[in-house]
Each structure stands twice: as C-alpha cells, then as structure tokens.
Amino acid sequence: MGPYGNDASWGPGPGPGTGGSDGLSDGLPDDRRPGLAPHWSEIEDAEAEDETGVMVRPYTITRGRTAPERDDLTLITVLTTVEAEAEAALARGSRAGARGLQPEHRLILERCRRPAAVAEVSAGLDLPVSVTKILLGDLVAQGLLRARAPLSVARAAGGVDLGLLTAVREGLRRL
C-alpha cells in the first residue's frame, strides 16, 4: 500500500503509470504529457518584449510596491492632468542630474491631458491595472494628476442629462 492509499502510482518507487524509479516521472518529457499545460517559463511571450527585446518586470516599474497608496481609484475613476504642475515636473526632470519622472509617469500625464478612466490608461500603457493604480497614486500624491469619481465629472459638466438616460433605457428595452 502506498502512502496515499492503495494506489501504488503515488509516492516513491516504481508503480503503475510511472516511467521512472522516482515515482515522479511518467517517462514522457514535460511538453509531451497529455492534458498538461506547459510551464510558464517555457512559454515565449513575444508581446511582453518591447522593440529592444527586453521585458521590464512590473515590480521594477513600481519600485517593488505591490499595492497602491490610494484605495479609491476604481476602473472608472476619471483622471486629468494638472497642466501647470505637470509642465513644471517635466521641466525639472529634463535637467541634467535631476531625478525625474519615470517614462510610464510621463505617458500617463500625456494621456490624461484629456479626461481618461483608469481602465483606459491601463490599456494604453499595456500594464496590469494594479501596476497602473500604483503609478497613478504617485502622480495624484504629487499633485500632477487629479482623480474624480465619474459622477463628479458629470455634475461638473452640467449634471446628468435625464433625457439622455431615459432615451438609452427605452432603446435598451426595445432590443
């Protein structure tokens, strides 16, 4: 009897269905085992590499942080660049010897010159949402980016148009 019941294929030693004496091998290479997906390290992901052929890991972009400082950034939070502060920060970063913004921060500031949702920014950067939220939190904390709930933006634009919402609802009902 094996350590996990009557099935002799479990545990050390040869048994039915094992190809080796260690009890861990079925005699087939890992990529030939039926029904098993390849290990993540065996998958070549050409999309993960940029033009130089180097993939930058998310923990490098976030400087090791795994959670954003702000927890109020949702997928539909609307972001806009604070122009004066952003221009000053970009100018400071262009001086020799000054530690400026990361390239991703610069891309976010450029993208958010017009209002954009967190999900849009994340898709535009081709980064996971969790990584994008960390970068966005940095910019909001520095005063370079303004974050607002979507309804705040609608109210600032003159309020929610009930006529439009009613027309959309009626159109959906007709479907």
> pTM higher than 0.85, yes or no?
no
At 63 the pLDDT is 73
At 169 the pLDDT is 92
At 40 the pLDDT is 47
Do the bridges between strand 116-117 and strand 78-81 make them parallel or antiparallel, or are there none, so unpaired? Answer: antiparallel
Residue 24 has pLDDT above 60, yes or no: no
At 152 the pLDDT is 62
Where exactly are the structural domains of the chain?
Answer: 64-156
3-state secondary structure of 170: helix
At 11 the pLDDT is 45
3-state secondary structure of 38: coil
At 102 the pLDDT is 81
Cα separations (Å) of 64 from 30, 99, 134?
33, 18, 10
Mean pLDDT, rounded, for 19-34:
50
pLDDT in tens, 65-111: 777 777 788 888 899 888 888 777 777 765 444 456 788 888 898 89
- Asked whether the beta carbons of 150 and 76 are under 8 A apart, the reply is yes
Q: Which carries the bigger pLDDT value, residue 9 or residue 57? A: 57
pLDDT in tens, 108-152: 988 999 999 999 999 998 888 888 898 898 889 888 999 988 776
Cα separations (Å) of 17 from 6, 23, 150, 154, 174?
14, 9, 58, 64, 59
Judge: domain 64-156, CATH 1.10.10: yes
At 19 the pLDDT is 47
pLDDT in tens, 160-170: 677 888 999 99
At 27 the pLDDT is 53
Residue 13 has pLDDT above 70, yes or no: no
Residues sharing a CB contact under 8 Å with residue 153, sequence separation 6 or more, in sequence order: 78, 115
At 42 the pLDDT is 54
